[in-house]
Structure 1
C-alpha cells in the first residue's frame, strides 16, 4: 500500500489554487470519497462535435505519462441508451495555433458523442493500477446535421456515415510534408486544392522522422520529444475537418523496418523531396541506437516491442480518435516490404494489434492495412474492415497499364469487404512528368477503379511533384458529380455484359472496352467505355486515337422507362440525356457520340405513368 501526494490545480475567481492531498492509493480505491480531478470542459455540445476536457495531474505521480501501467486516465460515459463508452485520456504538450511552444502540458479527454440526450460520465485517474481520483460530469448533446463517423455500408462493398449517407472517397495521397515544402502549412494549400476540386479523401503517413513520427526520437515508448510533430497532426486534422476532407492515417511506415535501397533512377534536380533514406539503421528500436531489437523482423515477434507498439496505438487513438474526419487507421503502408517478412508472424501481429485498436477505439474507426502484393491471411485478415491495394509497376508501365491495373483489382476483391486503391503510379521511384504530362493514366485509373468495383476512385501518389504542378486535381470534379445521387452503400451492383455495335465505318475488333454495373432491384446502372489506345504511351507516340461511333446495347432488363445520361468523364459535361423504353424483349439501346477516349453512362429506371 503506497502513499501518494496529489497536487490538483483549481481555477476560481481568477486565482489558481494549488491543493495538496495526501492519500493511500489502495485506500482511495475503496473509499467513496475520492479526490476530485479538476476538469475544464463543456456541459453541452452538438451531435458528432468534439467534447474536450482538460485536467491537471501532479507530474510527480508518474515517470512516463504514456505508460498505462504507470498512470492511466480514462473517462467512462453512459450514453442515453444505457450503453457504456470508455474513452482513454492522454498527456499533451501545448502549442499555440502557430506551433509555438507554450509552457504548460496537460492531460485531456477527447470524445465525440454519437447520440443526442444526456451523457453521464466520470473521469478516473489510475496510479499503479489503482483509482486515486475521480470527477463526475454530465454532457447534454443536441441535434446537428452532421453525418457522423464512416462505416462499412450495409452492402459490405461501399462506405456510409452513421446517419446512412453514402461516402464515396475521391482524392490522393498527401503522405507528408517537410521544411522545404512549407512544413505543416503546406497542407492548407494541398487540402484547399482537394476541396476546390470536390475531393473528400487524403492519405497521410504519421510515422516518418522528418515530419510526423512519435517514435523516431528516443526513448521508445515516450513521446515527449515528439510533441511538436504530434501538434502538426492536430493542425492538419483541424484543416481537414474545416474543408470536408477525410483522412486515412498510416501508423507504421514500412521503411523504418527495412534497409534503404536508393531508386534505380536519377531524379531530376527540379523535383524537391525530403531525405527519405531513413531506415532500420536510424530506428530507435535498433539496439545500435539504444533500442531493444537486434534486427527489424523482431519488431513483430519481441513481446516488449509489441507492447510498445500497442502503447503507440493507444496514444494515437486517445489523441485523434475523436474525429469523424478520420476515415480509417492503416496499420502499415506496405507490411510485406519490411525486412525478412513472414506471413504467419505478420498475421499474428495483425491479430494482436487489431484487437488493441478495436478495444481502445470507442468511436469505432475502420481498420485497414496495405501490402505490396496480395497475401492470403494478411491482406484480407479478418480483423480488417476493408482492404487497401497498392499498385506500382517496377518500371514505367507500358500501354497495357490499365489492363494489369484492372486485373490486379479483380484479384484483390472480397465478397464481404470494401476495397480501395490506396496508392498507385506509373513508377514507384519518379513522378511521370515527362512520360504522362496530360495525366492519362491518372484519369483512367481514377475511373477504372470505380467500375472495377472498388469503393472509391484510385488514389494516386506524387501529389506535390505531379498532380498539383500539372493541375490534375480537376479530374475529381467529373467523378464527384457522376457518383452523386447514387446511394452507394445500398447498391447491389453486379457486372453485366453489354454490346458495342459500330455505327461508323469500322472493320475489325471494336477498340473500346465497356464495363457495366447494374442493380436490377434498384433499377440503377452505370457504364464506362474506354478506348484501348487512350494510354499515355500511345498518346506520346501517336497522339489521340481515331474517333469511333458506337451503339450501346444491353439485354435482359425489366421492361419499363429508363432515364439515360451520357457523360464525358474528362470534363464532367453531360453530353446528352434521353428516355429509353425497354420493351418485353428486355433490350436497352442507346446511340453514343463519337469517342476516342472515354464515355460514361448512368441509367435510372423511372416509375411507369
Structure 2
C-alpha cells in the first residue's frame, strides 16, 4: 500500500495509552492510516448504527469527517496450491485518508456507539507534494467523452474483467492476472465484491455480516493495483443472488432469501424494502470507509446486469439509484465515479440517463463481428446520454474458436477510435486470455493510446465522410480538435473485413493490401498545409512509417502503408 503510515494505540479497559510517534509526512493522494485497539464487544461491529470509528480531519482548506472500519490483519501463504490466511493479532478499528491539499492536517479520532462518543486522541501529519505523482482521482473529462485525473492527465481504461480467481489461489491469482496485464500496458480491472459462490471477494456473507478474510484480500488487491498503477471498477452486487430463473441463478441459496434466514420474500424487494436498503447502504458505507482513500478505485458499480434480477422494474430502479447515489456522496469525500450495468446491450434508458450515474457501460456477447458491434454501442450511448461510455463486458459464444485472440484485438482497436471512454473489456480472463497467453494483444493499443496523448483535451467527433479505395476494407476513425486552435488530430484504424475472429476460425486469410487510398473530409483541414501521418503496426504499437500529405477543399487524401489484416494511424492536422 502506498506510503502506509500506521499509528497504533493500545486501549485497555477504555483507558488510552498513546505510544509516542514522530511527526509524519504523507505525499498528496497517498494514504495516512491509523488503528485503535478498542476491546469492547459488540453484536455486530460492522453495523454503523451500533458502533463506528470517526475521524474529524482539519486540512488547510476544509474540515471533513470520515468513517473508520472494523479490521483484522492476516498473513498469507500458499499451501498445496491453495491460499491460506492466518490471523495476526486481534481485530482493530482503523481509518484511512488520503490528503488532497498540502499542509498540516489535524485529526481527532473517536469511537461512537450507543453509549455516546468516546474521544480517543488527536494527531497531526504534514501533506506534501514530495513523493506524489499528483494524478489524483479519476473524473469525467472536460470533453465529457473520456476520463481525466484531478491532475489533468487522461485516464483511458485498458484491461479486462478479473471478477474472481480460480483454483483457490486467492490473492496469488490476482498477482498473476494483474502483473500480466500491467506488463502489457493494462491499467484497468473489474472486481466483483459479492457472494456468488465462486472464488471471489465476497464482502457480505450474510445480512449485515462481512468476511474479514476476503476484505483483507481486497486490501491486498487494491494495494497491488496501486503498485502497478492500475484502476479498479468495484462492482458491489450482481443479479445472481436475486434471480430464480434460467441462467446462473442463486436465489434458492441466497442469504437475502427469507427461506434461508434472510430478509426478503421476493428478489425484487431488494430495491424497495427499507431493511434491504439499510443493509446495502451500510455495506456501501463500509466499503467507502475502507477503500475510498485509494486513487486506484476508479469507480463504484452498483450492480452487475441488474435488469435480469427477477421482475426487474425500471421505475423502482431509478428511485433506488438516486437514493443510493445521495448516500454515496454523503460519505465518499473523494467523490469516486458511479455507474451500473445491464445484460441487455441497449440497457435501461430511464436509468442510464440519470445524472446520478457518471458514465454508461455495455455488455455484449455472441457476435461474429466484434469490431462493428462494440464500436456501435460505445458511440451510440455517448451520443445518446452525453456522458462517457465503454463496453465493460464482451465475448464470443465459444472462446475456443478464437485461441489467437482476434476478437480481443479487433474490439480493442475499434472502440478506441470510435469515441469510447476505454477499450472494450473481455470477460473470459481466466478461461481464455490467461491460458492462451493473449496479454500481448494489449501492447499495440496501449502504445497507440499513449502516443495520442491527452484524449480528454480534445473535442472528438466520428469521421463520417470518408472513402476507401478497396471495398472490403473498413475505416474506423475519429477527429478531435482543441479549443480555439485550428490544429486537430485524427485517430484511425483500417481493417480488412476478412479479419474477424469468425473468418479466421473458418480458415480464411487476408491478402496483403498495397497502395490503398483514403479520403477524409475534415472540418479544420487547412489547404496547402503539410500534415503528418504516422502509421502504426497494430500488434506491436510501433510506428512504422510517416508521411506528409496535403488538404484540398477540406479533404485529406492518404495512401496507406502496405499491411495485412489491419493498420492504424495518427493524423496530425495543421
State TM-score, norm by structure 2.
0.90
Inter-CA distance 39–351: structure 2 relative to 1 (3 Å threshold): farther
Aligned-partner Cα distance in 1 for 2:17–2:67: 18
Q: Which residue of 1 aligns with 2:338?
A: 367
Pick which of 540-549 and 454-463 moved more. 540-549
Report deviation, 1:327.
0.6
User: Equivalent residue of 1:558, what SS?
Assistant: coil
CA offsets 1:193-215 (integer angstroms, 9 cap, x no match): 01111111111111133432122
Structure 2 residue 518 is matched with structure 1 residue 529: no
Distance in structure 1 (CA, Å) of the matches to 2:321 and 2:466: 45
Aligned pairs for 1:410-425 (under 5 A) are 410-413=379-382, 414-425=384-395
Q: Is the 8 A contact 2:377 2:391 kept in 1?
A: no
CA shift in 2, pair 1:93/1:589, >3 Å? same
* Structure 2 residue 356 is the aligned partner of structure 1 residue 388: no
Contact 1:498-1:516 at 8 Å conserved across structures: no
Aligned positions of 1:429-444 closer than 5 A: 431-433=398-400, 435-444=401-410
Please say if 1:581 is aligned against 2:550.
Answer: yes
Q: CA deviation at 1:407?
A: 2.9
Q: Is the 8 A contact 2:158 2:188 kept in 1?
A: yes
Corresponding residue to 1:488 among 455, 462, 469: 455
* Superposed displacement of residue 11, structure 1: 8.1
2:417 is equivalent to residue 451 of structure 1: yes
2: distance between equivalents of 1:97 and 1:110? 22
Report whether the alignment pairs 1:221 with 2:201.
no
CA distance in structure 1 between the aligned counterparts of 2:286 and 2:362, rounded to whole angstroms:
27
Q: 1:173 and 1:153, CA in 2 relative to 1: closer, same or farther beyond 3 A?
A: same
CA deviation string 1:274-296 (max 9, x = no partner): xxx66111111111111111111
Q: 1:58 and 1:38 mapped to 2: Cα distance?
A: 17
User: Residue 136 and residue 491 in structure 1: after superposition, are their counterparts in 2 closer, same or farther (change >3 A)?
Assistant: same
Q: CA RMSD in A?
A: 2.3
Displacement of 1:542 after TM fit? 4.1
CA distance in 2, matches of 1:328, 1:340: 27
Q: Is the 8 A contact 1:285 1:292 kept in 2?
A: yes
- The match for 1:165 is 153
Q: Structure 2 matches for 1:187-586, cutoff 5 A? A: 187-208=174-195, 209-210=197-198, 211-216=200-205, 218=206, 220-223=207-210, 226-259=211-244, 261=246, 279-373=250-344, 374-393=347-366, 397-398=367-368, 400-413=369-382, 414-427=384-397, 431-433=398-400, 435-485=401-451, 486-502=453-469, 510-520=471-481, 521=485, 522-549=487-514, 550-556=516-522, 557-559=525-527, 560-582=529-551, 585-586=553-554
Please show how residues 83-98 of structure 1 align to structure 2 within 5 Å. 83-98=62-77
Taking a change above 3 Å as real, the CA distance of residues 351 and 74 of structure 1, as seen in their structure-2 partners, is same
Q: Is the 8 A contact 1:124 1:133 kept in 2?
A: yes
Q: Is 2:32 the counterpart of 1:51? A: yes
Alpha-carbon shift at residue 36 of structure 1 (Å) = 9.2
Q: Which moved more, 1:286-295 or 1:403-412?
A: 403-412
User: In the alignment, what sits opposite 1:70?
Assistant: 50
What SS does the aligned partner of 2:219 have?
Answer: helix
CA contact (8 A) 1:41 1:53 kept: no
- Is 1:126 the equivalent of 2:96? no
**8 Å contact 2:27–2:132 — kept in the other structure?**
no
Alignment partners' CA distance in 1, 2:21 and 2:212: 22
Question: How much has 1:141 moved relative to structure 2?
Answer: 0.6
Task: Tell whether the 8 Å contact from 2:190 to 2:232 is kept in structure 1 after alignment.
Answer: yes
Bigger radius of gyration among the two: 1
Return the offset for 1:39: 9.9
Check the 8 A contact 2:148/2:154 in 1, yes or no.
Answer: yes
TM-score, L = length of structure 1: 0.85
Structure-2 separation of matches of 1:188 and 1:440 = 26
Between the aligned partners of 1:49 and 1:546, the Cα distance in structure 2 is 52
Q: Deviation digits for residues 61-80 of structure 1, max 9, x if unmatched? A: x3221222212221121221
Residues 354-381 of structure 1: CA distance to partner in whole angstroms, max 9, x if unpaired?
Answer: 1111211112211111112211121332
Please say if residues 517 and 527 of structure 1, whose CA atoms lie closer than 8 Å, have aligned partners that are also in contact.
Answer: yes
Q: 1:403 to 1:39 in 2, by over 3 A?
A: farther
Distance 1:384 1:465 in 2: 32
- Name stretches of at least 5 consecutive residues in structure 1 with no aligned partner: 1-9, 22-34, 263-276
What is the CA–CA distance in structure 2 between the aligned matches of 1:36 and 1:133, rounded to whole Å? 13
CA contact (8 A) 1:326 1:365 kept: yes
Q: Deviations over 1:70-103 (max 9, x none)?
A: 122211212212x222211111122135431123
The alpha-carbon distance between structure 1 residues 377 and 312, as it changes in their structure 2 partners (threshold 3 A), is same
Counterparts of 1:11 and 1:538 in 2: how far apart (Å)? 61
Structure-2 separation of matches of 1:501 and 1:283 = 55
Shift in alpha-carbon separation, 1:184–1:501, aligned structure 2, 3 A: closer
CA drift of 1:20 comes to 4.8
Distance 1:315 1:41 in 2: 30
Deviation for aligned residue 1:156: 1.3
Measure how far apart 1:498 and its partner are: 4.7
Query: 3-state SS of the aligned residue for 2:163?
Result: coil
> Counterparts of 1:41 and 1:257 in 2: how far apart (Å)?
51
Where does structure 2 lack aligned partners over 5 or more consecutive residues? Answer: 1-6, 78-84
Q: Per the alignment, do residues 11 and 37 of structure 1 end up closer, same or farther by CA in structure 2, a change over 3 Å counting?
A: closer
Structure 2 CA distance, aligned partners of 1:97 and 1:151?
34
How many angstroms does 1:387 deviate by? 1.1
Work out whether residues 56 and 65 of structure 2, in 8 Å CA contact, stay in contact via their aligned partners in 1: yes
